[in-house]
Amino acid sequence: MSQQKPLSGPEMDRAASVLRAGGLVAFPTETVYGLGADARNVNAVARVFAVKGRPTDHPLIVHLGDARQLAAWAHDVPLSAWRLAEAFWPGPLTLILPRLADVPDAVTGGLDTVALRVPGHPMALALLAAFGDGVAAPSANRYGRVSPTSAGDVAEELGQAVDLILDGGRCEVGIESTILDMSCDPPRLLRPGPVTASALQRVLGRPLAQTVDKDVRAPGRKPSHYAPRARVILASSDNVAQQVQAWREQDKRVGVLAPRRPADLPDDVIWLRFTGSVREQAHALYSRLREADHLGLQVLVAAMPEERELGHALCDRLRRAAGLGEGGDPMVQSRQISRSNT
């Protein structure tokens, strides 16, 4: 494994040839780093699952260099999907579409749909252009863990298991793409993200479906995801102090993730800065969760942001980091509460 920056033309050709030879290349996108493999090479795709420790029926996103390549992966692409592609690509939006028959099952987990996106990072686009076809890439972290937002994070997560790590600096957006299922009518939001529901609805000219998919393979249906080692406790801004107190009494090493340092915070409690706009918070989220690990925190009390626009995606990731899954599934919540009592 080697790390490098910046990339010249010949170096990008080398990265593309690693992919062509069935190797794994970790690369930056505007959202998080991806662990890339040739999407048409089933052995290379199998290596991605092995390295991540991810169940093989969880499908991967195929990354494309150009929206026109959609037609090489999906059929019956509705006009509305082309419109969304035009409005948001390159960018943090993934579209689920009916897949063509030659798309490997290894990529789609045997589903009859495929996830596609053109990422908005110059290095990702250069890699995809040099490679010339689809690159299957999940986030470059071990299954269930915090997504990497720097090349150093990837090395920490996957180290020698990757053939090449391309260093494109810290990811600008910092949380994963919005996933929209366009294989149903009306389209359905599967993962909230940087492209908000209202922005999608503006382009589509109609509301998204409200139904929730119970398939655990759909994004983030696994209730615990994006999780640091510390136990994450969600709090409203006015009960952070109370939560901190309760966990300190249990002799836990406690940290706080909040926009401001709470007044009268005891000296042994670490404040992880979560300042600025929601956009800045999204950018910082995963590096703060990693910091919590590096500091050996056992409990992280997180103040929930306002749940609107990009805040919706931020709350979704924090809920999963807390093991609460979508919208705080009451079953899972009661399990977590009972665990907290033991």
List of residues contacting Mg ion (CB under 5 A): 139
Smallest gap from Cβ 340 to Mg ion, in A, equals 26
Which among 163, 157, 152 is positioned nearest to 1, based on CA atoms? 163
Which among 80, 81, 60, 59 is positioned nearest to 70, based on CA atoms? 81
Smallest gap from Cβ 245 to ligand TXA, in A, equals 36
The nearer residue to Mg ion, 20 or 54, going by C-beta atoms, is 54
The nearer residue to Mg ion, 139 or 183, going by C-beta atoms, is 139
Contact partner at residue 93 from ligand TXA, Mg ion, none, CB < 5 to 8 Å by partner kind = none
The nearer residue to Mg ion, 175 or 300, going by C-beta atoms, is 175
Element (H, E) at 193: none
Q: Which residue is it, tokens 């136990």?
A: 231
The nearer residue to Mg ion, 157 or 181, going by C-beta atoms, is 157
The nearer residue to ligand TXA, 38 or 176, going by C-beta atoms, is 176
Contact partner at residue 60 from Mg ion, ligand TXA, none, CB < 5 to 8 Å by partner kind = ligand TXA
- According to DSSP, residue 303 is labeled E
CA pair distance 268, 263, nearest whole angstrom:
14
What are the residues binding ligand TXA (CB under 6 A)?
29, 31-32, 34, 58-61, 92, 94, 96, 108, 111, 113-115, 119, 137-139, 176-177, 179, 190, 217-220
Contact partner at residue 173 from Mg ion, ligand TXA, none, CB < 5 to 8 Å by partner kind = none
Smallest gap from Cβ 220 to Mg ion, in A, equals 8
Smallest gap from Cβ 132 to Mg ion, in A, equals 25
237 burial via Cβ count (<10 Å: 0-12, 13-18, 19+): middle
Distances from the Cα of 89 to the Cα of 99, 119, 307, 330, angstroms: 19, 7, 25, 36
Smallest gap from Cβ 3 to ligand TXA, in A, equals 18
DSSP 62-113: EE-SSGGGGGGTBSS--HHHHHHHHHH-SSSEEEEEEBPTTS-HHHHTT-SE
